[in-house]
Amino acid sequence: MIARAAIAVLALASAGAAAQVLDFSADEVRAVLRHGPWPPAFVPDPSNRVSGQSEAIELGERLFFEPRLSREGRFSCASCHVPGLAFQDGRAQGLGRTELDRNTPSLLNVRLNRWFGWDGAGDSLWAQSVRPITDRREMDSSASQVAALLREDPEYACRYRRLFGEPRDAPDQAMLVAAAKSLAAFQETLLSGRSAFDEFRDALGRGDRLAAARYPIPAQRGLRLFLGRGACTACHLGAAFTNGEFHDIGIPFFLREGGVDPGRHGGIRQLQASPLNLLARQSDDRTGAAAIKTRHVALEHRNFGEFKVPGLRNVALTAPYMHNGRIATLAQVVRHYSELDLDRLHADGEAILKPLRLSREESADLVAFLESLSERASASPRRRPIAPCRG
């Protein structure tokens, strides 16, 4: 084992005194490289036959901003997933027709999820897209309302016909699912842009220390903590910085009205009862491969109070944090893990977390690293005029 000073710094003579790269070990470099490359290649969703199709993306984009999808014509998807706010709403808890129990998640990178929603009640992006449309607390719409819009609006009727066939002949429920698949096709295009971290990661990978040295030293120290003592990569792994699964991290799950949010436990029960899950006939995947997760997911007592591990890309742009928006700033998130109250964790749960007991400087470094995951420029397509449908 190679002994190493805790914060040994290599100065780059060619880059001047300010340009430095920490002496990341070969293991650390390998660990850094596992958080990329970015952006990831597009892989169509096999359960959605219009995934990746430009006409479906256009229809989905129109529907995303369409208030007539809601019962009273007051809400569109974009009312809560605001493009200028990283496709979330900046509130602690979402606000539909009434205040909701959970934080509105960002839709950037949503296509990389295995499960959808804080509790993973959705196993596909299109099934998840149906939920807020029909939820009484949110858009409070129905299959018949959505179908009527798609049949009666000439522009929608034309687009529907080109993608799915004659709308007059289709059952309402099938039209709702088709609308959701188009919405999913649009949401699949929402990706966060490249970050300072990505530049650093790629520079490390090609051995370009000059370029790597542009990454600030506090972020580098924070990255080392993230990979090492913090053990954050146990859950925040891969290019999206999430394992896509569910954990209890000691955030209270009591609701205002006195009930409790069952989290993943309730999510699995909803999933298994859903007529829109991937085991049902609405899935376009005839191989059954997409449904392997749904077929095998296990309902355990420990799932109670577990919530999904969010990806960390653009995390500085998506405050407040946690499933109920209870934590306002990244510094407070870091303090939560630093001073973790183990009594809040399930006694029979997993033994992963322990208080990190970070110094003030270490906490600031970890925040600097998390901030470096923000995009430098949006990678999501800008809204543009869409030519009227013909045919």
Partner 1 sequence: MEKRRASLRQSAAALIAGALCAAGAGACELPAGTRIESASYALSFRTQPARIAPGEHFALEYAVCPKAGAAPPGTVSADAWMPEHRHGMNYRASVVALGGGRFRAEGLLLHMPGQWEIVFQAGSERLAHRLRVE
Is residue 292 involved in binding partner 1 (CB under 8 A)? yes
Tokens of 96: 């539909």
For every residue of 350-387, DSSP letters joined together read: ----------HHHHHHHHHHHHTTSBSS--SPPP---P
Could you say which residues in the range 241-270 bind partner 1, by CB under 8 A?
243-246
Tokens of 147: 């179908």
The CB-of-314 to partner 1 minimum distance in angstroms stands at 20
Could you say which residues in the range 1-30 bind partner 1, by CB under 8 A?
30
Burial classification of residue 85, based on how many CB atoms lie within 10 Å of its CB (0-12 exposed, 13-18 middle, 19 or more buried)? middle
Q: What H or E segment, with its residue span, contains residue 272? A: helix 264-273
User: Which three-class secondary structure string do you get for 193-255?
Assistant: CCEHHHHHHHHHHCCCHHHHCCCCHHHHHHHHHHHCCCCHHHCCCCCCCCCCCEECCCCCCEC
Helix axes 143-152, 154-164, angle to 10 degrees: 100
For residue 304, report the phi and psi dihedrals to the nearest 5 degrees: -65, 125
Q: Binder to partner 1 among 229, 295, 354, 357 (CB under 8 A)?
A: 295
Q: Binder to partner 1 among 4, 7, 10, 34 (CB under 8 A)?
A: 34
Is residue 342 involved in binding partner 1 (CB under 8 A)? no
Is residue 349 involved in binding partner 1 (CB under 8 A)? yes
Q: Binder to partner 1 among 7, 10, 33, 234 (CB under 8 A)?
A: 234
Is residue 43 involved in binding partner 1 (CB under 8 A)? no
Nearer to partner 1, 170 or 278 (CB): 278
The CB-of-3 to partner 1 minimum distance in angstroms stands at 23
- Nearest one of 72, 203, 189, 63 to 129, comparing CA atoms: 63
The region of 13-21, 35-43, 227-235, 322-330 touching partner 1 under the rule CB under 8 A is: 227-235
d(C-alpha 63, C-alpha 70), whole Å? 11
d(C-alpha 302, C-alpha 299), whole Å? 9
Is residue 350 involved in binding partner 1 (CB under 8 A)? yes
- Nearest one of 221, 289, 233, 372 to 45, comparing CA atoms: 289
The region of 132-140, 172-180, 239-247, 375-383 touching partner 1 under the rule CB under 8 A is: 239-247
Residues touching partner 1, count (CB under 8 A): 24
The CB-of-26 to partner 1 minimum distance in angstroms stands at 13
The region of 132-140, 187-195, 230-238, 249-257 touching partner 1 under the rule CB under 8 A is: 230-238
The CB-of-310 to partner 1 minimum distance in angstroms stands at 15
What are the residues binding partner 1 (CB under 8 A)? 30, 34, 114, 233-235, 237-238, 243-246, 292-293, 295-298, 300, 302, 349-352
